[in-house]
Amino acid sequence: MQYKGVQFLPVQVLHRCYTSMQTASGNGLETPERFHPKAAPPSQTDISTIKTFVAHCKNMMVLSGAGLSTESGVPDYRSKGVGLYDRMNHKPMEHHEFVRSSASRKKYWARNYIGWKRLSSLKPNIAHTKLSQLEKDGKISWHVTQNVDSLCSKAGSKKLTELHGCVERVTCLSCRNISTRKELQKRFQENNSTWSANVLGFGPDADVFIKDEDVTNFHVPACLKCGGVLKPDVTFFGDNVPGHIVEFVYDKLQKSDGLLVVGSSLQVWSGYRFVSRASHCGIPIAIINIGATRADDITSVKVNALCTQVLKHIL
């Protein structure tokens, strides 16, 4: 049976599917669908403009979004034709749903359990590694990513704020103990050794889509320290980025002499606020993104292209 071009597979055979989809290029797993929108190659003028912007900066801040990771195989929400909102009638988990409803938590973790193997196998692309190298070269003073996929840190970025958290970590809502997602995956496997589900499609991060009835017999473990509710250490839709993190980023922004936005439409306030602040402070802004952004009218430079196709030319 087929749905959106994705074959229904029981969980027990997913590992064989993932293994067979490994690519020789080292860019991770080929996906059933392309997860980045089509775009014309950047012109020489586009490339030169970004190179000039970067060259003029001595303490450049980077703000990255989902478009940085789509070429690694991580779907996004808003890209025309390929984003979640265009492809499927599914919405991301809201914070209040997860916190208030055990049924919602079970649904979230069942889907995440299946999708984790794929997400954790994905590799940074050339745009991730180029940003890491620019940091090592002293060009980037700080990198703020809206992504939770850990690909920036895997690429070697150290001066990094994961604005919305990271899926590699799990937190207890009661005792606040932090554990690793890898450890939790082992516990999921132990508690659900005979469980299976049909995969209907892939979503952003470690999300996949399965039938509601397949969730019924999935078992979610509790915190090992206190028996509390476990939650990924990420900011869900409907929640707020902690104030101290926002102030920390504002401070880094004030010390920068340029803001480069990479792969973000800036539709979410948590990221847009920094671009707005940069504009008010007279800090030059450059954007690399496919499609319109919320900040197109206040940016100094805008290049409509894939992140890799521009950043690979930056020395």
Catalytic site includes residue 313? no
Among 164, 219, 244, 313, the one annotated catalytic: 164
Is 223 labelled as part of a ligand binding site?
A: yes
Is 172 labelled as part of a ligand binding site?
A: yes
> Are the C-beta atoms of 291 and 44 separated by less than 8 Å?
no
User: What are the tokens at 76?
Assistant: 């996004």
Is 226 labelled as part of a ligand binding site?
A: yes
CA-wise closest residue to 49 among 305, 274, 221: 305
* Residue that the structure tokens 């690909």 belong to: 151
Question: What span, in angstroms and rounded, lies between the C-alpha atoms of 68 and 79?
Answer: 12
The answer for residues whose C-beta is within 8 angstroms of residue 59's C-beta and 6 or more apart is 141, 255, 256, 257, 258
CA-wise closest residue to 208 among 84, 86, 104, 85: 84
**Which residues does the annotation place in the binding site for Zn(2+)?**
172, 175, 223, 226
**Which residues does the annotation place in the binding site?**
172, 175, 223, 226
Active-site positions read 164
